[in-house]
Amino acid sequence: MSITITREFKDALELLKHGREHLFITGKAGTGKSTLLKLYQETIPDNSVILAPTGIAALNVGGQTIHRFFKFRPGTTPENVTKTFMQGSTRRIIRNLDAIIIDEVSMLRADLLDCVDKILRKYGWERNKPFGGIRMIFFGDLYQLPPVVPRNERNIFQKGSLYETEFFFDAHVMKEVPFLRIELTKVFRQKDEEFIDFLNRIRENSITSEDLEWFNRQNVARFEEGKGTGTRDYFVILTSTNRQADEINLRHLDKLGQLNPIYKNSAEIVGKISREMYSAPEELVFCRGCQVMMLTNDRNNQFVNGTLGIIQGCDRVGGQVEIKLRNGKVISVGKHKWEVNSYGLHEGKIVSVPEGSFTQFPFRLCWAITIHKSQGNTFENLGLMLGRAFAPGQTYVALSRCTTLEGIKLFTEIQMSDIMTDPRIVRYFERENIDFET
């Protein structure tokens, strides 16, 4: 996705670099939130950390999960968080913090944010003040993927209970401190205004039955999975569950494996690394003809995270895999070493400290991928397989991954019941005026 540094980017960067306000930077899919964060990372102050609610999100920004940074254990709640022991090294890091950046904030639960607040009030440099006086900067789109709430915890998040909703904006601390909200408006991923308008209506739940009839008429491709459109090169099927994606990928692998040698590679893992921080499959199985998705940015700019390719062969001796990209270029890809870091304190400055490493070929099978794992990626051709296990925002996330209307194929027609925008999100934006629209 090519992004022009517009006036709104420059204004937002100025606030990020020189402001002291708490910020919530949001915008539609494809407006460059991730790019803005990367630009900010180039000049980020020394005593800042980048966190995320999930391992995948943390890996994408080179940070840590919130739980890992604060050493939160399972069962940690706002009521008991300050009673648990916190290592001196973590306390010293917190005391030196100037800012905390949290990416993919749509997945941040209200109770987890209150846990963060209580710890920062106890150990931050301005004790008993919201967030301990530390600047908070949030990135994300609330209309995309929501926080995960197990069934047995849903009673916590309802009217008249501990929290009105599970979303970060209903954390108790958010009632004590103002956030300046910046809305990025320029969409870069798609160029077709008609398609952009359609996606906006999906996002905001203002879609009509006529809109869906128009979209379905142009994009439904009724085909048996595994035939026709489903086997086109550089075509990805987005599913709502891991099981669906795994079944599709294994079916294609088994078919190709009958004609080609199968290669297997186990990741080399050094240090104590939690599974959520694995950057690629621990056990990678592939063969000639497999469609794969790259999982890192190439230092020679041959591919980026999310690039699709077709395996042409494997050199066992040299440890290289030949991959054909969409543009026809064949590249040699070796194993990639991901450093897993934690934050430490050195001479009063917060620094990244190596904690371990994960070495594997930087790709995964990708005839299919879950909508959740596709967040942040861009595809030119995709198929959408809607399922029963569906969360608000998933249809919008899935459709907005594609660059063009013509690139989308549907296994079944999209129904009005598939367009789920959480009404609590809508009410939040209705009651909160946009503070700063760039």
Instruction: Calculate mean pLDDT across residues 243-268.
Output: 94
CATH architecture for segment(s) 7-188: 3-Layer(aba) Sandwich (3.40)
The pLDDT value given to residue 386: 79
Crossing angle for the helix pair 88-95 and 110-123, to the nearest 10 degrees: 90
pLDDT level of residue 295 (50, 70, 90 thresholds): very high
Whether the CB-CB separation of 377 and 401 falls below 8 Å is answered with yes
Lowest-confidence segment of 200-214, 240-254, 312-326, 342-356 by average pLDDT: 342-356
Going by the DSSP 8-state scheme, the letter that residue 79 receives in this structure is T
Span(s) in the chain for CATH 3.40.50.300: 7-188
Q: DSSP alpha helices (H): ranges in 71-190?
A: 88-95, 110-123
Q: Express as a percent the part of the chain with pLDDT over 70.
A: 93
**For residue range 41-75, what is the model confidence (pLDDT) as tens digits?**
888 877 999 999 988 888 888 899 999 999 998 88
**For residue range 300-358, what is the model confidence (pLDDT) as tens digits?**
889 988 899 999 999 876 689 999 999 999 999 999 999 888 888 887 888 888 888 99
The pLDDT value given to residue 224: 41
Higher pLDDT, 4 or 394: 394
The pLDDT value given to residue 287: 96
The pLDDT value given to residue 222: 44
Higher pLDDT, 346 or 215: 215
Instruction: Calculate mean pLDDT across residues 88-117.
Output: 94
The pLDDT value given to residue 167: 96
Q: What length does the chain have?
A: 438
Dist. CA 415–CA 219, nearest whole Å = 13
Whether the CB-CB separation of 426 and 435 falls below 8 Å is answered with no
Longest dimension (CA), the chain: 66
What pTM did the predictor assign? Answer: 0.86
The pLDDT value given to residue 66: 95
Dist. CA 407–CA 403, nearest whole Å = 7
Name residue 282's amino acid. E
Asked whether the CA dihedral 9, 14, 16, 22 is positive or negative, the reply is negative
Phi then psi for residue 437, to 5 deg, are -100, 115
Hey, which residues does 340 pair with through a beta bridge? Answer: 356
| Average pLDDT in the chain | 88
Whether the CB-CB separation of 367 and 291 falls below 8 Å is answered with yes
Dist. CA 270–CA 410, nearest whole Å = 42
Dist. CA 17–CA 14, nearest whole Å = 5
